[in-house]
Structure 1
Amino acid sequence: MTELRLAIWDVDGTLVDSRDVIQACMETAFRGAGLPPPEYDATRRIVGLSLGEALGTLAPPDIGADQLAALVEAYKQSFVTHRTAPGYHEPLYDGAIELLDQLKADGWLMAVATGKSHRGVDALFEKHNLRSYFDTVWCADDGPGKPHPFMVEQAMGALGCAPQESLMIGDAIHDMAMGKAAGVRALGVSWGFGRADELASAGADEIHHDFRTLTQSLKAFAEIRPVKAPGVNEATG
């Protein structure tokens, strides 16, 4: 029996190097709210969570609901300001576009499952011309965020894929936890926000340190799952 194959991608820290801009936005937002900005080591641990949960984790424990809401809005505005500033730099990782090209040529289905908003994803897709690679996109504003399995389950459901036909690829412990909760194979990458030991502790089935070995892993996954067109039933009788 032939099967589908689906690669579900995180974005920040996996496809795009957003480490500097996210930390800069955090510092701007917190200072604007009169709060001490978080250190990078604290910021990197919450990347992937929905924005409200992430900022609530970084903010002082006694922060009020109104102040937290204002902090969320300050972060959103900070991101817009940084994104439109001269010299703004949020590059794709070396090897990312080549792997996306290869997977698309080989007939993979591809999805996004990200803590970014749709507005943030749209801006990123426009900047790097990525929209054509992805068959479905699920964001923090669609429903429960990471590590809840909602986004992975919705991606599989939208494309008619089963867990054994699907992979979650991400750089954060929340990506690994989300993938495992949805019953899919979770591939961690160490070049983003999460450390390799943290990804392993979060249940990563594999950990990759460059796109070369990630490409090899996806090729091996595909070799035991020959591709078929979505919605096509095999003949019987």
Structure 2
Amino acid sequence: MANFQLIVFDWDGTLLDSTGMIAASIQAAARDLGIAEPSDERARHIIGLGLIDALRYAMPGLPPERYNEVAERYRYHYLARDHELLLFPGAAELIKELSNTGFQLAVATGKSRNGLNRALEVSGLGRYFRITRCADECYSKPHPQMLEELIEAFDVAPATTLMIGDTTHDLQMAKNARTHGLGVTYGAHPRPMLEAEAPLFCADNVSQLAAWLRRHG
């Protein structure tokens, strides 16, 4: 494992098996407020985006002054069950292995800072990620700001940075930051959408991801 110095992970749908609950919570929030409920496909597509971009896509035509209402109901439904969420099988072991091997590790996520801090604590993975970036402190994916700030903070080159995520937003961000991108197909976006962004590889599970990183990392 010598080609990459910094490996950046998305969180939801990449390390944490949460995409189904996120989509269901978005739909439940819409029902609570009498707003047209987005389809499963539309609700899953927004995973990884910042709040405003997500709501613009999921609920087109929704007046901006109602965004806070939707966000409040979304958080209500998600937080009521987030203690049930688990890391994907093998995810914790992979992060520990990468850290022990000497990689620098980071997270770039559409979650809020409070949400990510909570997730890192509950999962026990916080110690492995020295620096992280969230959607409420940077421009939303696919804008490159999160990756650019991480690259600067770790003092590495874009060419030695790998972004791993389950959405086209992650892979487009990698392109925009001039880094490498790798897709995982077990999260929010299907393989054809990910492959259209020409990632280095698409992994169907964490075991495949780990095997690829051992060979090419």
| TM-score calculated relative to the size of structure 1 | 0.86
User: In the TM superposition, what is the alpha-carbon distance from 1:4 to its structure 2 partner?
Assistant: 6.4
Where do residues 102-141 of structure 1 align in structure 2 (5 Å cutoff)? 102-141=97-136
Q: Which residue of 2 aligns with 1:234?
A: none
Q: Deviation digits for residues 151-209 of structure 1, max 9, x if unmatched?
A: 11111111111111110000000000001111111000011011111001123221111
Provide the rounded CA distance (Å) in 1 between the counterparts of 2:66 and 2:96: 44
Given that 2:3 and 2:216 are in contact with CA atoms closer than 8 Å, whether structure 1 keeps it comes out as no
Instruction: Report the equivalent of 2:87.
Output: 92
What is the alpha-carbon distance in structure 2 between the residues aligned to residue 25 and residue 3 of structure 1? 39
Q: Report the secondary structure of 1:142's partner residue.
A: coil
Q: Is the 8 A contact 1:52 1:72 kept in 2?
A: no
What's the counterpart of residue 71 of structure 1? 70
Larger mean Cα displacement after TM superposition, 189-198 or 20-29: 20-29
Distance 1:36 1:30 in 2: 6
Partner SS state of residue 8, structure 2: strand
Q: Is the 2:110–2:134 contact (alpha carbons within 8 Å) kept by the matching residues of 1?
A: yes
| Over 4 Å off, 4+ runs | none
| TM-superposed deviation, 1:24 | 2.4
1:217 aligns with 2:216: no
Q: Hey, what does 1:226 align to over in structure 2?
A: none
Offset, 1:122: 1.3
Aligned residue type for 1:26: I
Structure 1 residues not aligned, in runs of 5+: 223-237
% identity of equivalent residues: 33
- Residue 81 of structure 2 aligns to a residue whose secondary structure is helix
2:198 maps to what in 1? Answer: 203
Deviation at 1:20, TM superposition (A): 2.5
Contact 2:4–2:162 (8 Å) recurs in 1: no
Aligned to 2:165: 170
Q: 1:3 to 1:219 in 2, by over 3 A?
A: closer
Question: 2:37 & 2:80 partners in 1: Cα distance?
Answer: 18
Shift of 1:109: 0.3
How many aligned residue pairs are there?
216
* Displacement of 1:32: 1.5
**What letter corresponds to residue 70 of structure 1 in structure 2?**
E
Contact 2:19/2:47 (8 A) holds in 1: no
